[in-house]
Amino acid sequence: MYKVFIQNRPIFFISIKEIKKHDGIFIREEFAITEKVQLTDLLTSLPNHLNLHVICENPEETMLLFFEDHQKVEAAGGLVKRKSKFLFIKRNGTWDIPKGKLEGNETPEDGALREIEEECGITNIALGTHIITTYHTYEYKGIPTLKKTYWYSCDYSGPKKGTPQLEEGITKIAWKKTEELNKILENTYASIADVIFTYFG
């Protein structure tokens, strides 16, 4: 199963054997590939409680074919825990988790730590386990882009004061208690919500 967010709405690419695990609207892959524009329009017009699924022989292959006209970008980030609080950033007015594009032959693990350091101004972060890998689309300089982001749990025991990376649109960094996460979820991206929900299970 592959889940890709388009304009903050998920489209699922699933195999036939996974149908029973899902509810919503189901589309055959042949229609999805030949009618991409109509499918995207349908996705963004659906009520929030209805999910759109593409039934595939090979979900990964179909997903990549569906987005073949998108440039591909890989990124990594981390949900950082310090004592009983978690690190969030305010980027362009929206709550986010530190992340960024991988550089050269950089591994996702190294990229996640580097991005946290650069975006938040903290060091000596301990990398934990992989949480989830998310996919979402956006336009970069007019070019449709599919971003694959690897997310990790991280631990940190240093000073809580950091420095937001202003040139990346980050205006605030904050350590939030678990009881404050509902406020974060009210003003964040659907893919970030997926990271939070997966982490807390």
Please check whether residue 1 is in contact with residue 18, taking contact to mean a CB–CB distance below 8 angstroms.
yes
Q: Taking all residues of the chain, what is their mean pLDDT, rounded to a whole number?
A: 95
When pLDDT is averaged across residues 156-174 and rounded to a whole number, the result is 94
Q: With 90 as the cut, is the pLDDT of residue 149 above it? A: yes
When computed from its CA atoms, the radius of gyration of the chain, rounded to whole angstroms, is: 18
pLDDT at 115: 98
Q: With 90 as the cut, is the pLDDT of residue 170 above it? A: yes
Structure tokens at 113: 């730590």
d(CA 67, CA 170): 29
Q: With 90 as the cut, is the pLDDT of residue 137 above it? A: yes
d(CA 15, CA 75): 26
Residue whose tokens read 């979402």: 136
Rounded to 10 degrees, the C-alpha dihedral 120/125/127/131 comes to: -30
What distance, in Å, lies between the first and last C-alpha atoms of the chain?
18
With bands split at pLDDT 50, 70 and 90, how would you rate the model's confidence at 103?
very high
pLDDT at 48: 85
CATH architecture of 77-131+138-200: Alpha-Beta Complex (3.90)
pLDDT at 127: 98
Chain segment 43-59, per-residue pLDDT in tens? 989 998 899 999 999 99
pLDDT at 69: 94
Which residue intervals of the chain bear CATH 3.90.79.10? Answer: 77-131+138-200
When pLDDT is averaged across residues 152-159 and rounded to a whole number, the result is 96
Structure tokens at 141: 């300089």
Chain segment 84-102, per-residue pLDDT in tens? 999 999 999 999 999 999 9
When pLDDT is averaged across residues 132-158 and rounded to a whole number, the result is 96
